[in-house]
Amino acid sequence: MTESAFSLSTLAAITQALLTLAALSCLCLASAHHLRQSPGQATLKQWQPVLFWCGWALLATAAATAITTQGWGLGLVTLLGILSVTAFAVVGLASYRRSGLVPIALVSGICGVALFAKWLLAVLLAQ
């Protein structure tokens, strides 16, 4: 395994982790149950459809990154492992620190999209 392939694979895994963390946070905030319990629910209520579709778009982007990097078999297995870890983190945040869910969604979403752009550029330049 060459050094560039290892770093590209690592970059893809970090990108998937950040994107799935942001996606699951957005989907959690878009659900009616968590929306009622969140601080600033009046602000989040108008963002509910946007959070829902952003969550699914980020999840699809993470899946595309996994499948492109490692293929259908190993890519989906890796994605499910990362999804399990990030789901555990989101459930913990939603249960014990609801006010931290919005900043986590924003920061991980911005960083995930930035790393996705870097990964995509590296993949396109490698071809």
* Domain definitions of the chain by residue range: 13-33+42-126
Q: CA-to-CA distance for 120 and 41, rounded, in angstroms?
A: 36
Given this model, what pLDDT does residue 1 score? Answer: 46
Chain centroid to CA 76: how far?
A: 15
Chain centroid to CA 92: how far?
A: 16
Closest CA to 101 of 16, 19, 46, 35: 35
The pair of three-digit structure tokens given for residue 56, joined into one six-digit string: 């699914």
- Measured on CA atoms in the order 62, 63, 66, 69, is the torsion positive or negative? negative
pLDDT values of the chain reduced to their tens digit, one per residue, 127 residues: 455 555 888 899 999 999 999 999 999 888 876 556 555 655 667 778 888 999 999 999 999 999 999 999 999 999 999 999 999 999 998 888 877 888 888 999 999 999 999 999 988 888 7
Given this model, what pLDDT does residue 101 score? Answer: 83
Given this model, what pLDDT does residue 47 score? Answer: 77
Each as own residue / partner, the long-range contacts of residues 6-11 (CB below 8 Å, 24 or more positions apart, any chain) are 8/69, 8/119, 8/122, 8/123, 8/126, 9/69, 9/70, 11/115, 11/118, 11/119, 11/122
Write the secondary structure of 101-121 as one string of H (helix), E (strand) and C (coil): HHHHHHHHHHHHHHHHHHHHH
Q: CA-to-CA distance for 61 and 37, rounded, in angstroms?
A: 28
